Amino acid sequence: MTAQILDGKAISADIRADLTQQVASLTAQGQRAPCLAVVLVGDDPASHVYVRNKERACEQIGIRSLPHRLDSATAETDLIELIDTLNEAEDVDGILVQLPLPAHIDADRILGRISPAKDVDGFHPSNIGRLLQRRPGLRPCTPYGVIKMLERTNTAVAGKRAVVVGASNIVGRPMAMELLLANATVTICNSKTRDLAEEVGRAEIVVAGIGKPEFVRGDWIAEGAVVIDVGINRLDDGRLVGDVEFEAAAQRASWITPVPGGVGPMTIAMLMHNTVEAYRARQV
Ligand SMILES: NC(=O)C1=CN([C@@H]2O[C@H](COP(=O)(O)OP(=O)(O)OC[C@H]3O[C@@H](n4cnc5c(N)ncnc54)[C@H](OP(=O)(O)O)[C@@H]3O)[C@@H](O)[C@H]2O)C=CC1
Ligand SMILES: Nc1nc(=O)c2c([nH]1)NC[C@@H]1CN(c3ccc(C(=O)N[C@@H](CCC(=O)O)C(=O)O)cc3)C=[N+]21
Ligand SMILES: [Mg+2]
């Protein structure tokens, strides 16, 4: 089998076009535009690129973006003060604090300080708990985007054996919860998993998010599996590759996401979706 490409760039463009229309009809009714505050601490070059991409997506859709670029030496107390101000601001709908934060700042404390109603990343313990309990809330963008991509394959997730490789708070764990919510039978692997090849080989859906270039070998993939690659790894030669050995995996998979142009653009589209959702929820 040779895989069909799950084109995150195209799917995210559809989602963004839909949001553009929604925002246009809100503003045509005389309502203010939704607003996303983006907080960036320090000068990590990759973070600056991501934040610029988010601002560009906002602009395209008609969401107002409110950037806060802070010095790497910013005190945790000052960052908390900024979060509190944004939490209180009537005209701010979403707050995103770009990760990673400098080592002297406790990221969990910061993420936990964001009002759950404005937590468009879906990282607040309250929103994670809501996802766990199948209650409505803001859903983490990357796993939510993966679910939207799976919908495009027109294959049911319910009843499928899904294997998530990676168990971080922002990718693997919420991804596993999303798949469970969609009634898959879910296995979560981590760095202590004894036989990763065997676990992956049983999967009808594989989601890889570990941050190790091409770590998941193509010959581990079961014939006909759907392969979702969340990994973004910049190689020394400047190339961007995923966590899956793409060419070899594509020989066996039914569907596969490329890197770049796969999950990454979906994450940004779902961030925009969450911002509009947070806006609507705050209007009533
Ligand atoms: N496309 C997108 O929009 C996004 C992409 N990413 C990318 O996804 C990747 C993962 O990011 P993130 O979750 O933040 O990374 P973390 O480093 O926080 O987590 C990595 C996870 O992978 C697990 N892991 C590491 N090595 C192995 C192994 N050999 N076998 C099985 N599991 C392993 C770790 O296990 P343990 O728990 O035991 O330590 C951990 O749970 C990165 O490449 C990142 O750039 C991240 C966010 C969004
Ligand atoms: N609070 C917070 N929320 C996040 O969602 C968050 C974060 N912090 N910190 C970093 C990670 C990573 N992440 C990506 C989003 C889009 C692409 C993306 O669009 N990638 C393009 C390529 C971009 C490039 O060329 O480098 C693609 O895959 O096609 C990648 C990675 C969001 N993250
Ligand atoms: Mg830290």
Write out pLDDT tens, residues 221-269: 999 999 999 999 999 999 999 999 999 999 999 999 999 999 999 999 9
Question: Are 84 and 162 found together in one domain?
Answer: no
Q: Using the 3D structure, point to which of 98, 115, 132 is the last residue of a domain.
A: 115
Q: Is residue 7 part of a domain?
A: no
pTM, entire model: 0.98
Question: Are 166 and 79 found together in one domain?
Answer: no
Question: Are 108 and 146 found together in one domain?
Answer: no
Per the structure, the complete domain to which residue 63 belongs is given by 30-115
Phi, psi (degrees; rounded to nearest 5) at 245? -75, 95
The pLDDT of residue 284 = 73
With a cut of 90, say whether residue 1 has pLDDT above it. Answer: no
Contact 100, 45 (CB under 8 A): no
Q: Which residues of 252-262 are buried (b: 16+ CB within 10 A; e: fewer)?
A: bbbbbbbbebb
Ligand 1 in reach of 232 Cβ (< 6 A): yes
Q: Is residue 121 part of a domain?
A: no
Shortest-distance ligand to the CA of residue 39: 2
Question: Are 36 and 146 found together in one domain?
Answer: no
Say whether 98 is catalytic. Answer: yes
Q: Is residue 271 part of a domain?
A: no
Ligand 2 in reach of 62 Cβ (< 6 A): no
Kindly write down the DSSP assignment for every residue of 160-209, as one continuous string.
-EEEEE---TTTHHHHHHHHHHTT-EEEEE-TT-S-HHHHHHT-SEEEE-
The pLDDT of residue 83 = 98
Straight-line distance from the first to the last Cα atom of the chain, in angstroms, rounded to the nearest whole number: 50
Say whether 71 is catalytic. Answer: no
Q: Which of 180, 118, 115, 107 is nearest to 143 (CA)?
A: 180
Q: Is residue 79 part of a domain?
A: yes
Question: Are 97 and 36 found together in one domain?
Answer: yes
Q: Whose CA is nearest to atom 30 of ligand 2?
A: 264
Question: Are 158 and 248 found together in one domain?
Answer: yes
Q: Is residue 132 part of a domain?
A: no
Question: Domain tally for the chain?
Answer: 2
Q: Does residue 168 have a known ligand-binding role?
A: yes
Question: Domain containing 36 — which CATH number?
Answer: 3.40.50.10860
Question: Are 89 and 166 found together in one domain?
Answer: no
Question: Domain containing 252 — which CATH number?
Answer: 3.40.50.720
Ligand 2 in reach of 242 Cβ (< 6 A): no
Question: Are 255 and 151 found together in one domain?
Answer: yes
Rounded distance from Cα 42 to ligand 3 centre (Å): 12
% residues pLDDT > 90 (the chain): 96
